[in-house]
Structure 1
Amino acid sequence: MEESVNIDKALEIIKKNIALIIGSMVVVGVLAALVTYFIMTPKYESETQMLVSSPGDAVVVDSENIETNLQLIHTYREIMLSRTILEDVITNLELDETVKELSKRISVTNQEQSQVLSIRVIDESAEEAVAISNEIAEAFQERIVDIMYVDNLSIYAPASVGPDMEPVSPQPLLNIAIGLFSGLMLGLILAFARDHFDKSVRNESEVRNILDLPVVGSITRIED
């Protein structure tokens, strides 16, 4: 019974403050849209893929060779993100950033049991993202021969700027949806806070609920 009363009370508060709640949603949603379209800088992601093949001049690709290559992939990822490789990339492309700053925009992954390494780079410029991911692949391919004495990597799919290359962030629909939800939560908080701190009595039922006494009479408002 008490739970039912609490739900009814909550619905009553929401109904009474529906304009406030909707207004809060609209305001925060519009702010999210404005920030997304006019303040946040679009960022692009490029991807260069490298294939880890059988070492040396081996022609026969068997399960043992594949397993060896898969075990090497984790090591390759670590080397690819090392200071040695990234310093080469910064020098070759004349980038105005540190190794630490560049590394934050790079990810090197591979699917389970896959011999393909994917180098992904995020940048505010699509052309710059493509140049960096391709340069990482080329610098790594050149350096790995001296580092591990192997020559079993090839650039399988270099990155390129295409007409369908769209920004990966910001995501307008997601940001606006988050804004609307945040506005809804803010509106509900304001509505319940407003009700909690509002101690005024507006009608007979509120008098009965607050004082727990019967109402014996009332004075009607006289309009001028």
Structure 2
Amino acid sequence: MEQEFSLIDLWNLLRKYFVRILGLTVIGAALAVLFMSLFVDRQYESEAQLLVNQSNNTESAIQYNEIQTNVSLVQTYSDIITGNAVLDSVNEQLGNVFTLGELNAAIRVEQSPNSQAFFIRATMESPTDAQNVVNTLVSEFESELRAIYGDDVSSVYVMSSASYNPNPTSPSIIMYGLIGGMLGFIIIVGIALIRELMDNRVKSVDDLTNMGLIRLAEINELTPKQVKDNRYRIEATDRQSRRRV
């Protein structure tokens, strides 16, 4: 018998399996949080804000064209920061405890729109490592910039030094809990839907109508109390008592 599910049928399905859906959703969220706590490494972030300005010895006032030039140069500075020369120096200063690949993956350079200021961020498995990487990176970047442009060409201003944040930025317990709960919900709803679609029993008058049959009568199942108190059982009991007499 082919079955079609409407929104009402889906709502009735959710009501029928409400306890199981709720239970597996909670279990999924709990398992996801447990998995995150045991197998996912916590990540900590440190950031510093810098402003790089080109010096101009002929004019004391900062012109609009100079600002636009500085803004466009931030991408160049970003390439310098993440280049192997700077990362090699940073790794050497930190005792070669990281690889260039690890440092490159951990470092991000982000610029505010149309701004000379930009952020250097590092995400590591330790808040101390993240702060040390950013501090060392800023220092080595300043040295590399002077080596390339000279002191009279460019100046680096550290607007905010590397921060120390003892709270992990990832993974998020809320995010993992929501993902686990959603997976649990989807799994139990899918199982319930498959069970209902594979159930070919006639459960309502609509099933007969869909099959092109006509309802002639209905036979209701008696409750245990009704079975105990029905007349046929009483008469049968009387007859058995008479026979014994």
Q: Report the TM-score, using the length of structure 1 for normalisation.
A: 0.84
Equivalent pair of 1:21/1:191 in contact (CA under 8 Å): no
Distance 1:156 1:19 in 2: 56
Corresponding residue for residue 157 of structure 1? 160
Q: Cα deviations across residues 104-158 of structure 1 (Å, max 9, x unaligned)? A: 1111011012111210000110000000011111111101122233431132221
Aligned-residue CA RMSD in angstroms? 2.6
1:140 aligns with 2:141: yes
Corresponding residue for residue 190 of structure 1? 191
SS in 2 for 1:152: strand
Equivalent pair of 1:56/1:152 in contact (CA under 8 Å): no
Distance 1:86 1:55 in 2: 26
Distance 1:209 1:16 in 2: 23
Matched letter for residue 188 of structure 2 = G
How far residue 215 of structure 1 moved from its aligned partner, in angstroms, is: 3.7
202-211 vs 49-58, which moves further = 202-211
How far residue 205 of structure 1 moved from its aligned partner, in angstroms, is: 3.0
Corresponding residue for residue 84 of structure 2? 83
Q: Report the TM-score, using the length of structure 2 for normalisation.
A: 0.78
Corresponding residue for residue 36 of structure 1? 36
Corresponding residue for residue 68 of structure 1? 69
1:94 aligns with 2:95: yes
SS in 2 for 1:49: strand
Q: Which runs of 5+ in 2 are unaligned?
A: 228-245
How far residue 5 of structure 1 moved from its aligned partner, in angstroms, is: 7.2
Cα distance, 1:83–1:209 mapped onto 2, change above 3 Å = farther
Q: Which runs of 5+ in 1 are unaligned?
A: none
Matched letter for residue 194 of structure 2 = A
Corresponding residue for residue 208 of structure 2? 208
Matched letter for residue 53 of structure 1 = N
SS in 1 for 2:154: coil
Distance 1:205 1:95 in 2: 77
Give aligned pairs, total.
Answer: 218
Equivalent pair of 2:52/2:154 in contact (CA under 8 Å): no
Corresponding residue for residue 111 of structure 1? 112
Corresponding residue for residue 174 of structure 2? 173
Matched letter for residue 157 of structure 1 = S
Corresponding residue for residue 26 of structure 1? 26
SS in 1 for 2:139: helix
Distance 2:38 2:25 in 1: 20
How far residue 18 of structure 1 moved from its aligned partner, in angstroms, is: 1.9
Corresponding residue for residue 54 of structure 1? 54
Equivalent pair of 2:25/2:181 in contact (CA under 8 Å): yes
Equivalent pair of 2:44/2:127 in contact (CA under 8 Å): yes
Equivalent pair of 1:54/1:61 in contact (CA under 8 Å): no
Distance 2:115 2:69 in 1: 12
Q: Percent identity?
A: 24
Distance 1:80 1:5 in 2: 58
Cα distance, 1:5–1:177 mapped onto 2, change above 3 Å = closer
Q: Cα deviations across residues 67-116 of structure 1 (Å, max 9, x unaligned)? A: 22112111111111111111111111024332122211111011012111
Corresponding residue for residue 122 of structure 1? 123
99-108 vs 14-23, which moves further = 14-23
